[in-house]
Every structure is written in structure tokens, then in C-alpha cells.
Amino acid sequence: MSIGSNPGMRPGRRDRALRFLENLFLMLTALYLAYAMRGMTMFKPVIPDRFSPDFMLAMELVALALLILRRHEHREIWLGLALVGAYAMSYRTLERDTVLFTAILVMGLEGVDYRRIIRTYFVAVGGVLVATIMAGMAGGIDNLVYIRDGLRSCWGTAYPTDFSTAVLFLAMGMWIAWPELPDWAMLIFGLIPLALAVFITASRNSTLCGVLFEMAVCYRWLERGALKRIDGKGKLRRVVDALLTLALPLCAGAFYLLVFLYTRHPQAMRGIDDMMSWRLSLSASNIQQYGIKPFGTYIPMKGGLGGTVFPKGEIVFIDSSYINILLRYGWVTMLAVFVAWIVTALKAIRGGNRRMALVMAVVAFHSIMEHHFMDAFDNILLVMPLASLQVNPEKARNESARARRIAFGVVMATMLAMGALFMPGIMSRLRTVFGARGWQGGGVNAWPVLCVNLTLVAMVAGTAWAVYRLAQDALARRRAERIALGVLAVCLALGIGVGVWGNRVIDQAARDNAALVDADTDALKCLADCDVYVDVMPEVYRRQFDNVKQTVIGGDELARLPGSTLLMENRAEHRLFLDRGYKYVQISDTHALYVADPKAQAALEAGGFALSGIYNTVDDVDLEALAELNGLKLGPEGLALDTKQTLTKGPNVDLFNGHYVVEYSLLLPEATVDAEGEICVLRARSRYLGVLSRTVVTRDQFDAEGRATVLLPLDLAGDTIDIRFQAIPKKKWQVIVQGIRYWQVT
């Protein structure tokens, strides 16, 4: 009897139970991938602490039921069990739930068709990514934009390289999962991640791997035609098969060799290390510090550069997947993963799944510079050593029928045309709705933004699918499917409903924000002959000003529009614009303009607005929040301090490089009015860089009523985070802090 067989269940019932459980497990897989993908975004939704363990338990139970029902007639099951054991041991060190989820996915997806797995990944991760891009462009979450050799954008994700990796892996997954997609068409689609890597994220690794992917598609195309005729005896094919099978150990070995050479000859290898963004030196230092153990070492990964445009003082992040696996997972787990990857590549090649084998080689090369190999929500191929990778040539040939190809072309042409026509208006309306509702910044606001965006994504995807099926039926001269007609009707009704709801929100926003718009009217009238882009609630402004334009992009991404004029909220500095030559002017208590159009600058100056090259708004520190941070009570006169109650914590201000002034408003209580000499020390201090500026306040600086305004100069040579404005009384004296404010000066 084979392991896991169940003779007591009839074959028909067993098959139905297996199909049901497989479908259920794929649904849970989709939910997990979407849940894991959210960690790469700026949504940061609030999720209950019990969600991860409870969800993992549900997946474990379904996977266990599948193991019981399946007949395990192949040795691969032992490979899966070995992987589970290695992952479980690594989890004891790492304490990362993703390790256990990966093990569950490996076992639960045993025997499942590879196309179903990758399509599940494509829908889940692709849906979250599209919703993330929409939210980032519409202001629902932060869209971080960096300046390094041009602009580097995240489009709602945590870091540019994460974004470009996700798009590249989705494109490669699409090529594998849809055999009916012609190679020539994939060459066109492959330009999308390549263009994003070059022009949007400026990711060198994703650019190089995008080129490799295009080369892989070309090779597969030629392999089925010209190369097949040239390589009559199959020698070239066998060489390529060997390289594809061993791509992972070859890439890992090459990187380990470079690290070894760096440890022996650091000066000679410095040029290569610089070219690889210091990955060799960091890898060498990490190996020396943590060592190599069977099941890894706990290394606290401190964020890298993602999630903020400000540099961090303490960064511990291992970028290369091969050093990451070796140090954090251990050499035993590394060997198990490498063996499973090689087995997966062999299965793909023997099953005629050459697209997957080629993509696996690209992933192996990509992992030299990036850490995404062990993340299933990026590298879905990691969980497929036990899956069914066999390509059905007959099915693939049927799916490549002329009607399907034409229908696909019709859908793509329709979607591109509709996107070009309506996307600026849709995104402008979304930006207005999110701004009016206050659904910004992620966190608790992530859920409504996600719901709206995922609804729109589902509506577009459903419409595309329905049009595809209806076009296919028309080309084949068949009666239109009722399901396709029903889906199309539901999607259209949903679109109309969302549109009506959005217009009502915009109407209400126009009424609620009439005074806000009126405060900006004088400046906007000066710009009557200039195009203006409004970042927050643009549709409210478009109803009163004809020169306000719609655009797909928003926030700092608007810096990609050369010579533009931007109306932004005045609550934060947008240094990116200033660094790119924009002029700044505050036009109301709430809004400011960033102007790069010379015509607009002249019009504003003629209207009496003084433009500046710096962000010169005065910001006040919240004393109530500061009191809570320091365990103090805010009295009617301010924060009363003595030698035991000092102001040392917070408010953790992040400031760009430049020259600033911090103004303290101080008051002496009655007990200190007759004091002499030094009263207190005022400091600006960074958690990472120490004291940035310091001044001692003496009794002579207070007037007869015991009041003093003290200016603390603060010069920052670079962008600095977690700046704290401190006040520490000296000796036995007391002092009351009545206010703290800061601003930038030329």
C-alpha cells in the first residue's frame, strides 16, 4: 500500500475531496501571498496579532488533509519532508513566520498543476501591487521618491528595488503560467519591467535581469525554430540544460568566490565591491561577525533603506540572497534549498517546461544582488519542488488557437486605449476622494483605500476577462457565454456604482472645503495662464479653475513633469522639488506652491508673492505630545522643568540638510526669578549622531518679567532623523518651556 492511500474512500469521492481541498488550499495560498506582499508596501494595515498563527493553523490542517488523501508513489515526498525539517529548524533561530509558511506551501502544493499555482500568485500579488500603485499615486499611502542619479520611485512600495523586483517576477510568472502567450508577445510585455527598472526605479540589478529575461524569451523563440534546425544532434540543448539545472549553485558559488577573494585581497577587489554596492565587504564582515552555523543565526535586520527617504543611522541588511541564506538560515537549510531547486529545474526540463527552467536561471542570477529568493510572495518557484511541472503539448497547442490570440489582442488594445483615455480622470478622482475622506498615510486608513482599489482592480480584471471570452466566442461564431455576459454586466454596474459614490464624495468635499479653496484663490488667479497640478483634492479645484489639470501621478512623483507648477499641502517639506530647482511659496495656512515654470514664477511675483529656494515655514512642536513623551504635565503656562524633570525625549523630527533656527520661549517661575548665572542648557540632539547644537541660557537673557526668547542655530550637513529639542535646567534652578518652534533659513 502506498503512503497516504485511503482504501476506505471510494475513488470518485476521493477525487472530489482532493479537488475541493486543492481549490481551498490555493485560495488560502492567495490570501497568504497577498498578506505577505502587504509588508512590501506602505499600506501598513493594522492586523490582529493572532491572525498569522491562526491563519497558519488553517493552512496546516488543509495541507495535512491533502497529504492523507494523496497517494505518495514518488520519492519527492521525502524531499518535501526534508525541506520541512530544515525550515522548522531554521525557524527556531529566525523566528520568522514566512519560513513555516513556505514549508506548508511546499507540502500543500504537492502534485498541483504549476499553472494553477503561478496564476494564483499572479492574481494575488499582482492585485495587491496594482492596488498599491493606485494608492501611492492617489495619495492614499506614501509614494517615496529618491534622488540618486535621477529620480527613483517606489510607487507605493517600500523601496524602488522591491518594486522593480515584484514587476519583473510577475512578468516572468505570466510567461510561465500562460503557455498560449506567444514568445513574440512576451518580448513586448517584457519591456514593461525593463522600462520601469531603467526609468522609474533606476535598479541596475533588475535592469540587467530584465535584459536576461528578454534574452531567455528570445532563446526559447529561436529554440523552437532556427536553433532546432541548426542543433540537429541536440548538443547545444544539452549544454543549455546543464547550465539551467546548475544555475543556482553556479551563481552562488561565483558570489561566494568573490567574497572569499575580497577577504584575501580587499584592495584589489575594491572596484568590484563598489560596482556591487559594497555587497562583498558587507558579506565578508557579516560572515566574520556572525559565523556560519547549520541552522543559521538570528541577525536583527534593521530595515535597510526602505520605508523612508531619510538615511538611517543603524542599518543591518543582507542584500545578497546567498549570504542571507547561508548566515540566517544555515548551511544545512541552504543545501536542502539548493537540492530542491535543482530537482525543480530537472523536473521542469524533463516535463518540457523550458520556460520555467529559463526563468529559474534568471531568478538565480537576480539573487546574487537581491534578498528576495526566500520570499514566496516574490519567488513563487521556491515552493514548487513537489508540484506538477509537466507541460501538456496538446493542451498548449489548443490554447494557442488563432481565436484566443486575436481575442487577447483585442482585450489588450481595448485596455490600453481605455487606460490612456480615462486613467488621468480616475486617478484625479481617487486622489480627491482619499483626501476628502482623510484616507491617507496607511495604517488604520489602509483598509478603506485597499477596499476601494481592490474593487476597481477586480472590476477591470473582470471586464477584461469577459471581453476576452466574448471576443473569443464571436471569432469562433459561438453563442456568447452567459457567465461572461453576467460578469460584464456586474462589472459595469459596479463601475457605475463606484462612480456615483465618488461624485457624491467630491460634491460634499467641494462644499466642505469652500473656504480652503477661497484662501488659495488669489494665487491661482495669478496663474490663470499657467497649468497647475493639485496634489490633494484636485477635482475640487478643477470645478473653479480651468487651469488645474488631471494627471495619473501625484505627490513627489510630479517632479517628473518638467517646468510644472504644483499645489501641495504645507504640512511637510518636499525637498525633492527644491533640489530640482523649484521655488517655494506658502499661499495659505494650509497650502503652498512649488513652481518651476518661469512664466508662473513671474506671474506670482507680479501678484505680490515672494518665492524662495527653501522651505521657510515655521513649525511648532506639540507641547502636549512632548509632555507625554517625557512623563511631564503640561500646565497653563507650559512645561515646568527642574533638575529631575527635564526635556530630553522627542519629538523625533526628521529634517533635510540645511540651516535651521530653533526658537525656545522660556519663562522663569517665581522660585527662580532671583537666580543668577546659568539657568539651563538647550540642545538639539540626534539619536544616531549625538548633540548637533547646544547653547547655555543665563539669567541675563531673561527680561524683568522673567521671559526669554532664545534662538538655537542648527546646521545639518546631511539629512537627519530623530532630532530631539531638549531643555535641561542647571543646578537647583527651574524653568518653564512655553513653546518650541523651528524653521529653515538661507
Q: Is residue 647 included in any domain, yes or no? A: yes
State the pLDDT confidence band at 647, using cuts at 50, 70 and 90.
Answer: very high
Are residues 418 and 567 part of one domain? Answer: no
State the pLDDT confidence band at 408, using cuts at 50, 70 and 90.
Answer: confident
Mean pLDDT of all residues in 262-279: 90
Closest CA to 372 of 158, 670, 633, 107: 158
Are residues 544 and 395 part of one domain? Answer: no
Q: What is the pLDDT of residues 561-599, one digit of tens each?
A: 888 999 999 888 888 899 889 999 999 999 999 999 999
Are residues 636 and 558 part of one domain? Answer: no
pLDDT confidence of residue 4: 42
Q: How many CB atoms lie within 10 A of CB 78?
A: 11
Specify whether the backbone of 47 is left (phi greater than 0), alpha (psi in -120 to 50) or beta.
beta
Identify the top-confidence range among 400-404, 517-521, 576-580: 517-521
CA distance 573 to 571: 7
CA distance 520 to 243: 64
Mean pLDDT of all residues in 216-245: 84
Q: Is residue 386 included in any domain, yes or no? A: yes
pLDDT confidence of residue 543: 92
State the pLDDT confidence band at 511, using cuts at 50, 70 and 90.
Answer: very high
Whether pLDDT at 672 is above 80: no
Q: Is residue 4 included in any domain, yes or no? A: no
- The last residue of a domain, from among 536, 571, 606: 606
Cα–Cα–Cα angle for 415, 211, 40, nearest 5°?
A: 65
Are residues 155 and 34 part of one domain? Answer: yes
Percent share of the chain, pLDDT over 90: 65
Are residues 425 and 378 part of one domain? Answer: no
pLDDT confidence of residue 708: 95
Task: Give the CATH number, domain containing residue 713.
Answer: 2.60.120.260
pLDDT confidence of residue 199: 93
Whether pLDDT at 2 is above 60: no
Between 618 and 480, residue with greater pLDDT:
618
Are residues 102 and 210 part of one domain? Answer: yes
Q: Is residue 683 included in any domain, yes or no? A: yes
Whether pLDDT at 90 is above 60: yes
Closest CA to 568 of 596, 610, 606, 599: 596
Specify whether the backbone of 70 is left (phi greater than 0), alpha (psi in -120 to 50) or beta.
beta
Are residues 260 and 199 part of one domain? Answer: yes
294 in Cβ contact with 326 (< 8 Å): no
State the pLDDT confidence band at 30, using cuts at 50, 70 and 90.
Answer: very high
Whether pLDDT at 359 is above 70: yes
Instruction: Tell how strand 548-549 and strand 145-147 pair up.
Output: unpaired
158 in Cβ contact with 41 (< 8 Å): yes
Are residues 292 and 184 part of one domain? Answer: yes
Q: What pTM does this model have?
A: 0.89
Instruction: Tell how strand 565-569 and strand 619-620 pair up.
Output: unpaired
CA distance 26 to 119: 10
Q: Is residue 613 included in any domain, yes or no? A: no
Whether pLDDT at 306 is above 70: no
Question: What residue numbers bound the domain in which 718 lies?
Answer: 619-745
Q: Is residue 336 included in any domain, yes or no? A: yes
Percent share of the chain, pLDDT over 70: 94
Amino acid present at 431? R
DSSP state of 42: S
- The last residue of a domain, from among 512, 542, 563: 512
360 in Cβ contact with 89 (< 8 Å): no
Whether pLDDT at 742 is above 90: yes
pLDDT confidence of residue 312: 62
| Backbone Cα Rg of the chain | 30
Grid-cell match 525554430, residue found: 225
- The last residue of a domain, from among 338, 366, 400: 400
pLDDT confidence of residue 76: 75
Are residues 552 and 478 part of one domain? Answer: no
335 in Cβ contact with 679 (< 8 Å): no
Are residues 239 and 175 part of one domain? Answer: yes
State the pLDDT confidence band at 521, using cuts at 50, 70 and 90.
Answer: very high
pLDDT confidence of residue 475: 77
pLDDT confidence of residue 5: 44
pLDDT confidence of residue 304: 57
State the pLDDT confidence band at 73, using cuts at 50, 70 and 90.
Answer: low
Amino acid present at 303? G
pLDDT confidence of residue 3: 38
Are residues 182 and 143 part of one domain? Answer: yes
The overall average pLDDT reported for the chain is 89
Number of domains in the chain: 4
Are residues 642 and 529 part of one domain? Answer: no
Lateral strand order in the sheet of 653-655 = 653-655, 720-729, 678-686, 690-698
Q: Is residue 690 included in any domain, yes or no? A: yes
Q: Is residue 262 included in any domain, yes or no? A: yes
